[in-house]
Amino acid sequence: MTNPSSLPRPFQRLLSLDILRGVTIAFMIMVNNNGGPGAWAQMNHADWNGLTATDLVFPTFLFVVGVSIVFAYGARLARGATRAQLAWHTAKRACLLFLLGLVVNSFPYFHLAHMRFYGVLQRIAVCYLLVGLFYLLDKRVWTKIALLALVLVGYWVLVRWVPVPGSGMPGRDIPFLDKDLNIVAWLDRQLMPNHLYEDFWSHNLRDPEGLLSDIPAIGTTLLGLLTGLWLRSQRELKTKAAGLAAGALACLASGCLWSIWFPLNKKMWTSSYVLVAAGWSLVVFALAFWAVEIKGWGKDKGRSQSEVLFRGVVWPWLVFGSNAIAAYIVSELLPGLVDLFPFTADGQKTNAFDWAREHIFAQIPNPGWAAFGYSFSYMAICFIPVWILYRKKIFLKL
């Protein structure tokens, strides 16, 4: 029999989810500012096929978005909001996220001729809008599983069996998952010439947040949504934690198996990558859920000395997690802002970040630790304005 005392209160905020969100955004800031070519391999994206810790950051954030939809919408409905009001709120928030993504991509110069319209916030906006509206339309679990299967299998069929115009059939006329000769990159070049992420680096060949790869990214968000539905069910907390662990195992096993035929690839956001990345997200989430929601570590009442220590360790991630979008925006706008205030040092024009990299962190003998020191320091700087917002109880809710 279910013990009511072991169940969370209706729509209680999950501290473990905030921790997962905070760790994710902190690591995202670090890998986006990893200190240069000396950074460890795990602080860089895989060049093409393959997987590094850095490749797990963005899908974990989308996974968290999916989980959050269940809890946020449930809380609003419990307070009397209608589905129509929530749908309108979802559409407005998605539009604002998309516009903020344009600002982040272009700040501070806003060159329209090469403005990038795809991006991280833009992908979050698309996935949040479509998955959020679908959840409002239909809360049945089986429809989410059906859509998940459709987007993952459908994307595999699209990439594997649809000929690339002017090049031919993947696996026959051209290599399967060729960097440049694939249907995803081809469509982005037709839709957004001179507006892609790799415009200046690879002659306008591709964009890691392109249009078609939004399809499997929706699958990532759906896996988070299904996780949120599982956590909102009337089951004991230990059963929920076991379900998270089982889900992690299932995603990792199925994703690794599928990768034999459909390799792990973050830039293409392959279906196998969706499953493996979600599996690792579930691993971390299950550990945080067990430690916080079941063992009570970090809770405010009746804390032991070890739990007080745990609270101190996770506190920065709670600060980041409570204002993740604000933290990301700060981290992306800060380099452009600093670049507006150049100065001359050693006869060369530089800025504060470049000077610190060359005159402070470059003095560390080990290149990996030098790069890590820079990226960690950059993340710590970004923490300051987010902590001020946290202290003032200001949370960016678009």
305 band by pLDDT with thresholds 50, 70 and 90: very low
Res. 389: pLDDT tops 60: yes
The rounded distance, in Å, linking the Cα atoms of 75 and 372 is 40
> What's residue 293's pLDDT?
85
The average confidence (pLDDT) of the chain is: 88
pLDDT at 199: 57
CA dihedral over 323, 325, 331, 334, signed as positive or negative: negative
C-alpha to C-alpha distance for 168 and 156, rounded to whole angstroms:
17
Query: Who has greater pLDDT, 275 or 355?
Result: 275
pTM of the model: 0.89
Provide CB contacts within 8 A for 5, sequence distance 6+.
Answer: none
pLDDT at 71 over 80: yes
230 pLDDT band (50/70/90 cuts)?
A: very high
126 pLDDT band (50/70/90 cuts)? very high
pLDDT value of position 36:
84
Q: How confident is the model at residue 289 (pLDDT cuts 50, 70, 90)?
A: very high
- Structural contact between residues 378 and 30, judged by C-beta atoms closer than 8 angstroms: yes
Tens-place pLDDT, residues 240-268: 999 999 999 999 999 999 999 999 999 99
Could you say which DSSP state residue 343 is in? E
pLDDT at 299: 58
What does DSSP assign to residue 290?
I
Q: Determine the pLDDT at residue 204.
A: 56
Residue 339 CA: distances (Å) to CA of 94, 329, 353, 365: 29, 16, 9, 27
Confidence of residue 274 (pLDDT cuts 50, 70, 90): very high
What token pair was written down for 166?
């002017």
